[in-house]
Amino acid sequence: MPVITYRQALNDALSEELTRDENVVIMGEEVAEYNGAYKITEGLWKKFGSKRVVDTPISEAGFIGLGVGAAMMGMRPVMELMFWSFAYVAFDQIINNAGCVRYMSGGLINLPLVIRGPANGGTNVGATHSHTPENFLANTPGLKVVCPATPYDAKGLMKTAIRDNDPVCFMENTLLYGDQGEVPEEEYLIPLGVADIKREGADVSLIGHGRAVITALNAAHRLAEEFDISAEVIDLRSIRPLDEETILDSVRKTHRAVLVDENKPFCGVSSQIATLIQEKAFDDLDAPVQRVCSLDAPAIYSPPVEALQLPTVDRIIQKVLAIS
Amino acid sequence: MLRIRRFEQASLKLYQQGKMGGFLHLYIGQESVAVGTCSLLGPNDHAITAYRDHGHALVVGMSMNECMAELLGKATGCSKGKGGSMHFFAPDKNYWGGHGIVAGQTPLGLGIAYALKYKGLKGCCLTYLGDGAVNQGVFHESLNLAALWNIPVVYVIENNQYSMGTSLARSSAIKACLAERAEAYAMDWDIVNGENLYEVRAKTFDAMERAREKCRPSILEIDTYRYYGHSVADANAKVYRKAEEIEFYKQNHDPIMLWEKRLKDEGVADDALIEKIDNEAKAEAAASVAFAEDSPFPELEDIFTDIYHEVDMGTEAGRTGRHFFND
């Protein structure tokens, strides 16, 4: 099976869907002639032309709103946010329009829209460029939120997101763009709302999404090598829909859970998972649910300190040892 | 125009009887705008507006029944009681709402028009906004994109002189007119006397043709006036403007009165015909009240439908995972 990067997997998904459906267009800042700020759309403008791959002004509220209007008319726009941090200036369009129009119209209007881009800290760009707003978005019924961790998932989930008839917030991670992984040549789709067991284990469940999954896998490796603890790693893949059953099945098997989340702890995604486990699997727990989140402050610039602000392997191991 | 007025008066009565929740933004006084513009919509033309959306809804062909039922939050409403006064929709009539955030609909109209152009359809999107919306950033982003990309959108500013309780003089730095902002984007613009239905139609037609034939966007500023407060719940309706001002407009500038006079002067209509039309409008409004009152409310479980297409359709995608956390 060919080994490609997370970036290339996304690029392939976009290219294949542009080819498959003429209602798909890509829009965003620098996506066309510049080839994408993070090169996710590299070569697409040259291949598909200015009608299908469109450079926008720096105008997130304007062009995301335009995408919502176009989606109402049956197009399938894929809108790139250079950073999900920039979504905040378009939140009215994302929440009030993309998120609510189907409901307020009594189901008369579908919104097959994808909004994508990187959402992460860890790149030393300061607080305004490091937000991970999946908790805000998942808090809006009507939106779907997808966070792939591997090249294989990135491609399969992106193709599904584009074909989905609801608005999907697709959250990538710049620190994963260069990661490599096996991706089949033949077409495949990954359904939204199905978590993936990235590593089987018996003693503790490490549950996360996005790059936190990679950190959790590294922690699981060390737990096995150094402490003889068998950790199961659950990759949520999408926050909404959320695959509750895979989470609960894993906790029922291991009886311990450590949630790993690059989101902030206060009202974050991990808060929701923790609530779910205590509501539906409390009797199966042998220890309190633990969380390893980003430290609860705006993203610090200082590079060595920001690396510690995000969930680290060491912090995961400490939490696991505390409940083992 | 009479249908809108009688519908609005009937809805006001229901509101005052406490049968309606939330806000009710009446269109009374502004009828000539929706009638003059929406009546020009062709098969490939579309319309979208803000929260004062009842008038446009009736002109594009929505029934009084589905509109009145929506106001009462009934399951027979156009949005099944999920949208309310500010959120009327009829995609089958190319009517895309009904949006509650000031100026939030302005890029949506752009996207609708963009899709028309993309699909090679010769049409345009009338995108309505109030005078308060011109000061929102997203409106200016929309104008920039419309002019930059040659999008067949016509922005119609319904200037009723008050953004909620704040007069134009206190809210807009550009005093002369609002449409002039188009100059900054090299867009065509015009000022329209909303009392003159012929003028409304002629100038709107020109703007729509410019959009349809040349993909050039325009701004039309239509001068109009609303008789009631920003909403019926507007406690300061008679504080921020004098009662005499409202009375002056009612007596001298009522669009229906002026239109009836003109039709009679031209010999097109007489009192008997006007009375007949008015009686039909009153009867239709009364029937819609009865229909709405007799209709059932949605069931509690209806709260969870119409959120996701895939769930409603029972598709494979809708069956995976959990969309709702509270069950």
Contact A73/B116, CB-based, under 8 Å? yes
d(CA A6, CA A148): 9
The one-letter code for the residue type at B245 is E
B91 secondary structure, DSSP code? G
The distance from CA B262 to its chain's CA centroid, rounded to whole angstroms, is 25
Q: Which of B136, B129, B133 is nearest to B153 (CA)?
A: B129
Residues of B numbered 218-247 whose beta carbons fall under 8 angstroms of chain A's beta carbons: which are they?
none
Contact B107/A69, CB-based, under 8 Å? yes
- Considering only CB atoms, A75 lies closest to which of B109, B115, B325, namely B115
**Contact in structure between A169 and A94 (CB atoms under 8 Å):** yes
Give the closest-approach CA distance of A107 to chain B in angstroms: 4
Coil/strand/helix, residue B111: helix
Exposed, middle or buried: residue A227 (CB in 10 Å: 0-12, 13-18, 19+)? Answer: middle
B127 secondary structure, DSSP code? E
Q: What share of chain B is helix, strand, coil (3-state, %, to 5)?
A: 50, 10, 40
Q: What are phi and psi of A93, to 5 degrees?
A: -70, -40
Question: Which residues of chain B does A63 touch, with a Cβ-Cβ cutoff of 8 Å?
Answer: 107, 141, 145
**Contact in structure between A120 and A131 (CB atoms under 8 Å):** no
What are the residue numbers of the active site of A? 60, 129
Strands A180-182 and A3-5 come out as antiparallel
| pLDDT for position B325 | 57
d(CA A174, CA A177): 5
d(CA B217, CA B182): 9
Question: Which residues of chain B does A109 touch, with a Cβ-Cβ cutoff of 8 Å?
Answer: 89, 91, 96
Contact A96/B48, CB-based, under 8 Å? no
Contact B91/A72, CB-based, under 8 Å? yes
| pLDDT for position B318 | 78
Strands A76-80 and A24-28 come out as parallel
Q: What are phi and psi of A286, to 5 degrees?
A: -100, -5
**Contact in structure between A100 and A126 (CB atoms under 8 Å):** no
pLDDT bracket for residue B291 (50, 70, 90): very high
Question: Which residues of chain A does B98 touch, with a Cβ-Cβ cutoff of 8 Å?
Answer: 104-105
d(CA B79, CA B313): 17
Q: pLDDT tens-digit profile of A271-281?
A: 999 999 999 99
pTM of the model: 0.96
Q: pLDDT tens-digit profile of A203-232?
A: 999 999 999 999 999 999 999 999 999 999
Exposed, middle or buried: residue B258 (CB in 10 Å: 0-12, 13-18, 19+)? Answer: middle
| Model ipTM value | 0.95
Instruction: Using alpha carbons, list the distances in angstroms from residue A190 to A134, A239, A297, B308, B317.
Output: 20, 14, 34, 18, 10
Whether the CB of B93 is below 8 Å from some CB of chain A: the reply is no
Give mean pLDDT, residues B138-164. 97
Going residue by residue through chain A, which has 324 residues, state the pLDDT in tens, using 9 for 90 and above: 999 999 999 999 999 999 999 999 999 999 999 999 999 999 999 999 999 999 999 999 999 999 999 999 999 999 999 999 999 999 999 999 999 999 999 999 999 999 999 999 999 999 999 999 999 999 999 999 999 999 999 999 999 999 999 999 999 999 999 999 999 999 999 999 999 999 999 999 999 999 999 999 999 999 999 999 999 999 999 999 999 999 999 999 999 999 999 999 999 999 999 999 999 999 999 999 999 999 999 999 999 999 999 999 999 999 999 999
Give mean pLDDT, residues B28-54. 98
| pLDDT for position A271 | 97
**Contact in structure between A205 and A234 (CB atoms under 8 Å):** yes
Best of A27, A108, A234, A243 to mutate (most B CBs within 10 Å, chain B): A108
Contact A104/B98, CB-based, under 8 Å? yes
Contact A241/B321, CB-based, under 8 Å? yes
d(CA B38, CA B88): 15
